[in-house]
Amino acid sequence: MGFSILLLFYLILPLFLAIHGLGADPFFQHSCISTAGNYSANSTYQANLNTIFSQLTSQSDFNYGFYNLSAGRDPNQVNAIALCRGDRNQEDCNSCLNESISELSQRCPFSKEVVGWSEFCTLRYAHRTLFGDMETSPDSCLYNTQNVTNVDEFNQALDNLLNNLSSRAAAEGPLRKYAADNTTVGVFQRVYALVQCSPDLFEQEFGDCLSVAKEGIRSCCFGKRGCRILKPSCLLRYESDPFYQTPLPLPSPPPSVASPPPPAPPSTEGNGNNTTRIIIIVVASVVGIPILIASSICIIRRARKTPQQLLRTDDDEVIRADSLQFEFATVRAATNNFSDANKLGQGGFGAVYKGQLPNGEKVAVKRLARDSGQGDLEFKNEVLLVAKLQHRNLVRLLGFCLEGHERLLIYEFVPNTSLDHFLFDRVKRAQLDWERRYKIIGGVARGILYLHEDSRLRIVHRDLKASNVLLDAEMIPKIVDFGMARLIVRDETQGNTSRIVGTYGYMAPEYAMHGQFSIKSDVYSFGVLVLEIVSGQRNNCFRNGETVEDLISCAWKNWRQGTAMNIVDPTLRDGSRNEMMRCIHIGLLCVQENVGDRPTMATVILMLNSFSVTLPMPSQPAFFVHTNIESDMSSSLVSESYQSRSEELPLSQNEASITDPYPR
């Protein structure tokens, strides 16, 4: 009897540890980035860092183990990214992050930038932006001191396994990029491996990061039985013994009819195995039922939230964000009392001014016109949402001012103004060679994808155009002006509005004429923008010899005739012809008349990054005319009263159709 109890104890103990995945694991690697500088004790930076730590330790949403956090504003802003291993649950993740915070606080006191790798998580924080940047340095490598017996055979099997895992992980989507599996080596040996990447990166960046990591195997642990290569943006690990669990499933559409659980496999072993199975079922039930109940409550609560609840509307709640609020006197002084000399431009809802804060930081201030259509609700939309958005291809909102009738938004200053100032200027466009234009197209695509799928709420921009794409000092595109962004809860794909806002020429027909908008409305605008970037000409006045046509019609006709390269900017003497043709192809796919035929932004990025993907043939664009049109186009899509809202010329009304076959 005593032996049976002892045996039962030893069976339960490893199972308990496996389920909880814990105990203080001694594994921890870190890097204190000395070049990023240090902060002082009890400083604002330390207070913001403590806010980040507090947010991490109080997370109630699992988010599949990925957290992107920010606290404060320049020059003391702290940005952090935390990534838990894809096979761990929320309890393991939280415990690992708590341990990492404790370790990093002790090992890197006062370091502004730090990376830490633990058994089940990676944590990094810095003053600079981390989200969306693929980074492979600093790194860490650990290996098993034992060697494999057949190096060539082992390396071949491992290489095939890692390539397979890389493809699977990249295809998992924006919530998680993780894969683990095993394969045989010879007759008796197996190798187990996992790869994981920060989900804010895209497929090409994911592949690049893992390629660098795989190179680390050759230089660090060639021929070893086990190895870990740790990068800030990705990691890989392989061992000769199992070390991972089955990951939590990603969400999928619910089945129409509940499927019964699969029958248990027939037992092939004795009573000892049955005893173990009983223990597993009991422990799993005890642990799983509370988790299931808690998850159900969270889902129900989230489902009950309306867009109005998600968008707070009380002035008091906006003012509580004191870390983002500026005094009006400070902003007025920064812009030299909103002088014309500091004026950068005039938008549909007000002027934008350049300013300099007392700490020397340059900013762009959007002063909303008092008689503009943008009221408090739209102002709060921009403040509450944009402040939470962090992506290298979005202009960062630093703060706001809400005082009396004044409504001000303070953005980071982007030195090179907007894309249209370069693209449509005969002299400046020479600075945009094809390599730069191709990167701009990809950057804008990534920014819009973030708004559509990767941000907490689905956001439709509704006014994507060349003048709303700013270029930083390195000509990296940053999308601006979310004042007209419309929120959609996650389960919806479109909305309706009686107020049409945006710029004609970039607006999808279903939105311009019927007020119906969706993420596919932004896809249409993106397609127009791509064609402009390729051609170097505005969408409403494409000059073709002595005549002027609208760009979409000209692009479509040349595509049908097999002469698509005719629309390419003649100043692009160098560059990949295949990339140019592919971009024209993608642009035409985005402006198709049938909304359902337009690709998603995720598909667009896949098309841009992978030339192995076969593109479908585009169908007729939404607005297409047979004949050339003169530069003083007079016909309009909508009533005269709307035309005054836009500085752009309207497109011609589409009353034509074509039946010619696709280009060969």
Catalytic positions, written as ranges: 463
> What tokens appear for 402 in the block?
């809400």
3-state SS, residue 378: helix
Residue that is written with structure tokens 């109005």 in the block: 308
- Cα–Cα distance measured from residue 317 to residue 114, given in angstroms and rounded to the nearest whole number: 33
CB neighbours (10 Å) of residue 604? Answer: 26
- Cα–Cα distance measured from residue 157 to residue 87, given in angstroms and rounded to the nearest whole number: 23
CB 395 within 8 A of CB 401: no
The distance in angstroms from the start CA to the end CA of the chain is: 82
Annotated binding residue 366? yes
Which of 36, 41, 68, 39 lies closest to 55, judged by CA?
Answer: 68
SS3 annotation, 586-643: HHHHHCECCHHHCCCHHHHHHHHHCCCCCCCCCCCECCCCCCCCCCCCCCCCCCHHHH
β-strands 234-239, 516-518 pairing: unpaired
- Cα–Cα distance measured from residue 609 to residue 203, given in angstroms and rounded to the nearest whole number: 8
- Cα–Cα distance measured from residue 297 to residue 407, given in angstroms and rounded to the nearest whole number: 38
- Cα–Cα distance measured from residue 560 to residue 562, given in angstroms and rounded to the nearest whole number: 6
CA 45 to chain centre: 26
State residue 578 phi and psi, 5-degree precision. -65, -40
State residue 9 phi and psi, 5-degree precision. -60, -45
Residue 189: Cβ-neighbour burial (10 angstroms; 0-12, 13-18, 19+):
middle
Residue that is written with structure tokens 């129900």 in the block: 300
How many residues can be counted in the chain?
A: 664
Residue 543: Cβ-neighbour burial (10 angstroms; 0-12, 13-18, 19+):
middle
β-strands 458-460, 397-403 pairing: unpaired
Residue 58: Cβ-neighbour burial (10 angstroms; 0-12, 13-18, 19+):
exposed
Binding residues for ATP are: 366
